[in-house]
Structure 1
Amino acid sequence: MMESTKIFAAAICLDLAVCSALHYVAKFGLPPSLSPSGWQSLAQIWMLAGLRWALVRLFCVVLTKPGSKAVLHRCVTAICLLGPVYESGLLVLFEKHPEHWSGSLSSPGKTLIAATATAIASLFWEVNFPDSRGDACGMSNGTERKQRARALFMRVIRYSIPDALFLCGAFVFLAFAVICEMFIPFYTGKVIDILGSHYQPTSFVTAIFYMGLFSMGSSVGAGLRGGLFMCSLSRLNKRVRVMLFQALVKQEIGFFEVTKTGDLTSRLSTDTTLMSQSVAMNVNILLRSLINMVGVLVLMVSLSWKLTLVTFIEFPLIAISQKIYNNRYEKLSKEVQDSIAQANDTAGECVAGIRTVRSFNTERSEARRYDDRIMVTHDLKTRRDTVRAVYLLFSRLVTLAIQFLMLYYGRQLIKRGEMSTGNLVSFILYQENMGSNVMSVVYICGNMLNSVGAAAKVFEYLDREPQVSTQEELQPETLRGHVQFQDLTFSYPTRPDRPALKGFSLEMKPGHMTALVGASGGGKSTCVSLLERFYQPQEGEILLDGQPLHRYQHKYLHSMVAMVGQEPVLFSGSIRDNIAYGLTDCPPGEGAGSCPQGKRPRLHQQTGARVCFGTDVGERGSQLSGGQKQRIAIARALIRQPQVLILDEVTSSLDTESEHMIQQALASCPSQTLLVIAHRLKTVEKADQIVVIDQGQVLEQGTHQELMDKKGNYYKLRERLFSENNSSGSADHSKPPSQ
Structure 2
Amino acid sequence: MQVPVGEGALVCTGPAMALPSAGLLPGLLLVADAVALVLLVPLVPVLTPLGVAGVWLEAALRLPVLTVATWLLAPRRPPGAIAAAFTVAATPAAFGTFRYLLGLSGAGPGLLAAASPAWLGVTHVAAVLALLAWAPPPVPGGVPETPSNVPKAPGTVRRVLALTWEERNVLGAAVLCLVLAAIGETLGPYVTGKVLDAIRSGDGLTAGAVGMVAAAGATSVLFSGCRGCFFLLLKARLRQSLSLRLFSHLVHQDLDFFQGTPAAELLARFSTEVPRVCSAAPTGANQLLRSLVMALVVGAFMVGLAPGLALLALLEVPLGITTRRIQSAREQALQRSMLEASARTASGVQESVGAIETIRIFSAEEEEEKQHSCNLAKELKLKEQMELEMAFFTLVHRMLHLTIRVLVLFQSHQQLRDATITAGVLVTFLLYQDTVGSHVQVLLYGFNEFLTNAAAGQKIWEYLDRKPTRDVGGTREPPKLQGHVTFQKVSFTYPGNPERPVLKDVTFEVRSGEVTALAGPNGSGKSTAVALLERLRDPESGKVLLDGIPLPEYEHQYLHRKVVLVEQDPILFSGTIRENILLGLEHCKESELQEATTAAGAMDFIQGLEQGWDTEVGEYGGRLAAGERRRVALARALLRRPAVLILDEVLDDGDEAAAQRWVRSGLAQTVLVVSHRSRVLDAADCLVVLEHGAVVETGTSAELRERCGAYSRLLLGGGSTEAPRMGSEEGTASGRE
Pairs within 5 Å for 1:678-717 = 678-717=675-714
Query: Which residue in 1 is equivalent to 2:729?
Result: none
- Cα displacement (A) at 1:498: 3.7
Query: Which residue in 2 is equivalent to 1:355?
Result: 357
- Cα displacement (A) at 1:451: 5.7
Write out per-residue CA displacement over residues 506-536 of structure 1, whole angstroms, 9 at most, x where no aligned residue: 1111232222222222210011111111112
Query: Which residue in 2 is equivalent to 1:435?
Result: 437
Question: How far apart, in 1, do the equivalents of 2:158 and 2:333 lie?
Answer: 24
2:191 pairs, out of 184, 187, 193, with 187
Pairs within 5 Å for 1:249-648 = 249-449=251-451, 457-458=459-460, 460-462=462-464, 464-586=466-588, 593=590, 595=592, 601=598, 604=601, 610-611=608-609, 612-648=612-648
For normalisation by structure 1, the TM-score amounts to: 0.77
Q: What SS class does the counterpart of residue 521 from structure 1 fall into?
A: coil
Query: Which residue in 1 is equivalent to 2:182?
Result: 178
Question: How far apart, in 2, do the equivalents of 1:180 and 1:213 lie?
Answer: 8
- Cα displacement (A) at 1:689: 2.2
- Cα displacement (A) at 1:483: 0.8
Are residues 258 and 525 of structure 1, via their aligned partners in 2, closer, same or farther at CA, if it must alter by over 3 Å? same
Q: Confirm or deny: 8 A CA contact 1:585 1:596 kept in the other structure.
A: no
Query: Which residue in 1 is equivalent to 2:725?
Result: none
Question: How far apart, in 2, do the equivalents of 1:124 and 1:225 lie?
Answer: 37
Q: Relative to structure 2, which stretch is displaced further, 332-341 or 169-178? A: 332-341
Q: Confirm or deny: 8 A CA contact 1:174 1:225 kept in the other structure.
A: yes
Q: Confirm or deny: 8 A CA contact 1:120 1:316 kept in the other structure.
A: no
Q: Confirm or deny: 8 A CA contact 1:481 1:544 kept in the other structure.
A: yes
Q: Confirm or deny: 8 A CA contact 1:690 1:701 kept in the other structure.
A: yes
Q: Across the two proteins, how many residue pairs are aligned to each other? A: 658
Question: How far apart, in 1, do the equivalents of 2:25 and 2:131 lie?
Answer: 18
Question: How far apart, in 2, do the equivalents of 1:112 and 1:415 lie?
Answer: 37
Unaligned runs of 5+ in 2: 4-22, 35-44, 137-147, 722-737
1:159 pairs, out of 162, 166, 179, with 166
Structure 1 counterpart of 2:182, one-letter code = V
- Cα displacement (A) at 1:316: 1.6
Q: State the Cα RMSD in Å.
A: 4.4
1:202 pairs, out of 200, 205, 212, with 205
Question: How far apart, in 2, do the equivalents of 1:2 and 1:706 lie?
Answer: 79
Question: How far apart, in 2, do the equivalents of 1:446 and 1:223 lie?
Answer: 24
Question: How far apart, in 1, do the equivalents of 2:105 and 2:251 lie?
Answer: 77
Question: How far apart, in 1, do the equivalents of 2:719 and 2:319 lie?
Answer: 77
Write out per-residue CA displacement over residues 471-504 of structure 1, whole angstroms, 9 at most, x where no aligned residue: 4332333322111000111223444554321211
Question: How far apart, in 2, do the equivalents of 1:200 and 1:111 lie?
Answer: 55
- Cα displacement (A) at 1:442: 4.1
Are residues 524 and 128 of structure 1, via their aligned partners in 2, closer, same or farther at CA, if it must alter by over 3 Å? same
Q: Relative to structure 2, which stretch is displaced further, 328-337 or 550-559? A: 550-559
Q: What SS class does the counterpart of residue 414 from structure 1 fall into?
A: helix
Q: What SS class does the counterpart of residue 569 from structure 2 fall into?
A: coil
For normalisation by structure 2, the TM-score amounts to: 0.77
Q: Confirm or deny: 8 A CA contact 1:83 1:105 kept in the other structure.
A: no
Q: Confirm or deny: 8 A CA contact 2:239 2:274 kept in the other structure.
A: yes
Question: How far apart, in 2, do the equivalents of 1:680 and 1:698 lie?
Answer: 19
Write out per-residue CA displacement over residues 390-414 of structure 1, whole angstroms, 9 at most, x where no aligned residue: 0111111111111111111111111
Highest Rg: 1 or 2? 1
Are residues 422 and 120 of structure 1, via their aligned partners in 2, closer, same or farther at CA, if it must alter by over 3 Å? farther
Q: Confirm or deny: 8 A CA contact 1:278 1:451 kept in the other structure.
A: yes
Question: How far apart, in 2, do the equivalents of 1:458 and 1:240 lie?
Answer: 9
- Cα displacement (A) at 1:190: 4.4
Q: Confirm or deny: 8 A CA contact 2:648 2:675 kept in the other structure.
A: yes
Are residues 361 and 434 of structure 1, via their aligned partners in 2, closer, same or farther at CA, if it must alter by over 3 Å? same
1:677 pairs, out of 674, 677, 697, with 674
Are residues 199 and 718 of structure 1, via their aligned partners in 2, closer, same or farther at CA, if it must alter by over 3 Å? farther
- Cα displacement (A) at 1:564: 0.8
Question: How far apart, in 1, do the equivalents of 2:47 and 2:367 lie?
Answer: 83
- Cα displacement (A) at 1:386: 0.5
Q: Confirm or deny: 8 A CA contact 2:26 2:127 kept in the other structure.
A: no
Question: How far apart, in 2, do the equivalents of 1:678 and 1:252 lie?
Answer: 27
Question: How far apart, in 1, do the equivalents of 2:425 and 2:536 lie?
Answer: 74
Q: Confirm or deny: 8 A CA contact 1:117 1:313 kept in the other structure.
A: no
Structure 1 counterpart of 2:315, one-letter code = I
Are residues 364 and 220 of structure 1, via their aligned partners in 2, closer, same or farther at CA, if it must alter by over 3 Å? same
Are residues 369 and 417 of structure 1, via their aligned partners in 2, closer, same or farther at CA, if it must alter by over 3 Å? same
Pairs within 5 Å for 1:41-120 = 43=49, 77-81=89-93, 85=97, 102=107
Q: What SS class does the counterpart of residue 613 from structure 1 fall into?
A: helix
Q: Relative to structure 2, which stretch is displaced further, 325-334 or 567-576? A: 325-334
Structure 1 counterpart of 2:616, one-letter code = D
Q: Confirm or deny: 8 A CA contact 1:601 1:639 kept in the other structure.
A: no
Q: What SS class does the counterpart of residue 403 from structure 2 fall into?
A: helix
Write out per-residue CA displacement over residues 262-317 of structure 1, whole angstroms, 9 at most, x where no aligned residue: 44334444444344345433233332222112101111112211111212332122
Query: Which residue in 2 is equivalent to 1:720?
Result: 717
Question: How far apart, in 2, do the equivalents of 1:124 and 1:492 lie?
Answer: 53
Write out per-residue CA displacement over residues 319-372 of structure 1, whole angstroms, 9 at most, x where no aligned residue: 111111111112212222222222222222222223333333333332332222
Unaligned runs of 5+ in 1: 16-38, 91-95, 132-140, 587-591, 725-739
Structure 2 counterpart of 1:349, one-letter code = E
Q: Confirm or deny: 8 A CA contact 1:606 1:661 kept in the other structure.
A: no
Q: Confirm or deny: 8 A CA contact 2:663 2:669 kept in the other structure.
A: no
Q: Relative to structure 2, which stretch is displaced further, 334-343 or 604-613? A: 604-613
Q: What SS class does the counterpart of residue 701 from structure 1 fall into?
A: strand
Q: What SS class does the counterpart of residue 363 from structure 2 fall into?
A: coil
Question: How far apart, in 1, do the equivalents of 2:297 and 2:118 lie?
Answer: 27
Are residues 507 and 307 of structure 1, via their aligned partners in 2, closer, same or farther at CA, if it must alter by over 3 Å? same
Question: How far apart, in 2, do the equivalents of 1:683 and 1:329 lie?
Answer: 63
Question: How far apart, in 2, do the equivalents of 1:662 and 1:544 lie?
Answer: 24
Q: What SS class does the counterpart of residue 281 from structure 1 fall into?
A: helix
Q: Confirm or deny: 8 A CA contact 1:319 1:438 kept in the other structure.
A: no
Question: How far apart, in 2, do the equivalents of 1:476 and 1:341 lie?
Answer: 45
Question: How far apart, in 1, do the equivalents of 2:2 and 2:562 lie?
Answer: 73
Q: What SS class does the counterpart of residue 690 from structure 1 fall into?
A: strand
